[in-house]
Structure 1
Amino acid sequence: MKIIAWNYRGLRNSATVHGLLNAQKEDPDILFLSKTKMDRVRIQGFRWKLGLTNMMSKGCYGKCGGLAIFWRSGIDLHVWQISRMHIDAEVKEADGFVWRLTGFYEVSATKKKVLLWKAMCTLNAMRRCPWLCVGDFNEVLVEGEKEGGPKRKHIYMDSFKEAPKDCDLNDLGFEGDPFTWRNNSHTSEHYIRERLDRVLAYGERIARFPLYRVINGEPRHSDHRPIIMDTNSLVRRGNQGETACVLF
């Protein structure tokens, strides 16, 4: 199964729509979009353009935000909860195995970031099965995940670290460019890159998905790279050549 999470910076012009449709070459089974900047009615038509005919969404407020999750026909996905910051769902595999998928989007306002971390802990309290979290968390975990611009305040990085730690969520790493977001500056003095988008997972090491990859894809017309989670791809190996199992 292939899952893509992407902060797409709006779907209001032909360039961004074209870039999104080109992303269909990745052939996702589930697509989580944040910052759609569209209401629920207008985004309905993308089901057919994307070839992912099942959809749930949270409309934008004004010209900001907006979330949507699309999934392919035949995927047994049930959405349990939607807010401005997340879409929480469960996926049932053909053999009856059930796991949880939550797509997150954190607003850029620093003082509001804590709301997402609180929401993560609240969702964790309702945990019923292995859990996969994807999306734009709008914060870095360590200083090395940011290049250029002023340094991140440790108080916010430390708060972000605590939420996944309290929820037993582990960063699954990535392949590709280490920075998932960039600003629009064309000068080296003001150019900033950060790793804001990631995949976190909870669960026992049960070797359910030993063949997986997390790839930071091409940004196309967004300032964020899509995060591509493939649960059945090339074997990922540790330092000693052993197969590393996904934590969910």
Structure 2
Amino acid sequence: MIWEKLKEWMGGGEDGNGEFQPEWITLLEKNLPLYKRLPDEMRQHLHERIARFVESVRFEGCNGLDVTDDMILTVAAQACLLVIHRDGVPYPGLRTVYLYPSTFSSIHKSVDAMGVVTEGRVHRLGESWETGTIILSWDSVEQGARDIRDGSNVTFHEFAHQLDHEDGPTDGAPGLASRAAYRSWARVFSESYADFQELTERGRKTVMDAYGATSPAEFFAVATETFFEKPRQLSGKQPELYEELVGYYGLDPREWLP
């Protein structure tokens, strides 16, 4: 499997003799058009991030799905683009990625204003758990990866949630470098979120998916999808929000997408 080959590549790379195999690059170019737009130096760094990711995370197929190298690379490349400037393990708290062939269902509990708990089964494209698990629908992963302009990408979305989990509550504020960074993030995101909720309540068309108005955590995840796939539209509509995301992710997708 690919993790064994990647371990060998990482070992060879330390001595300057390793090479990210051409067939892996071919798979990434086929499944992830965004990969071809990245600067050469960033692609090389992404290869190393992918290897670290695959080394630290277990992939499992569900409902009879056989997990292939193709699937692993497609998920790993997108996940690692979010943390391309990190050192060490890309997602230290993540242990397992479960892949379903298509939409899966799970039990959802909700509590109304009177404290009444309602439980029901809902259909999902992805989930991210604070216990170190991500669940993805493979056909949604594949579709989101191949269309880099629709602002919808379940892999970016769920891995943004995973970043949000890292510092405690899933509240739309991932781990940041300083108190000053938290203050700036809190101001910009709270104002942007309030404005976004108002627009969606009025039925106005927005560059971000309206699902982002359901909670601060979903706002951050949807903003991440839009940041990577519609950077110019987002920067035009929400310049302060965009700059916060540039600072957090350490990159600017406007440099790759025309």
Report the TM-score, using the length of structure 1 for normalisation.
Answer: 0.29
User: When you count strand as a share of all residues, which structure comes out higher?
Assistant: 1
Report the TM-score, using the length of structure 2 for normalisation.
Answer: 0.28
- The higher radius of gyration belongs to 2
Q: Could you say which structure has the greater relative contact order, defined with CA pairs below 8 angstroms and 6 or more residues apart?
A: 1
User: When you count helix as a share of all residues, which structure comes out higher?
Assistant: 2
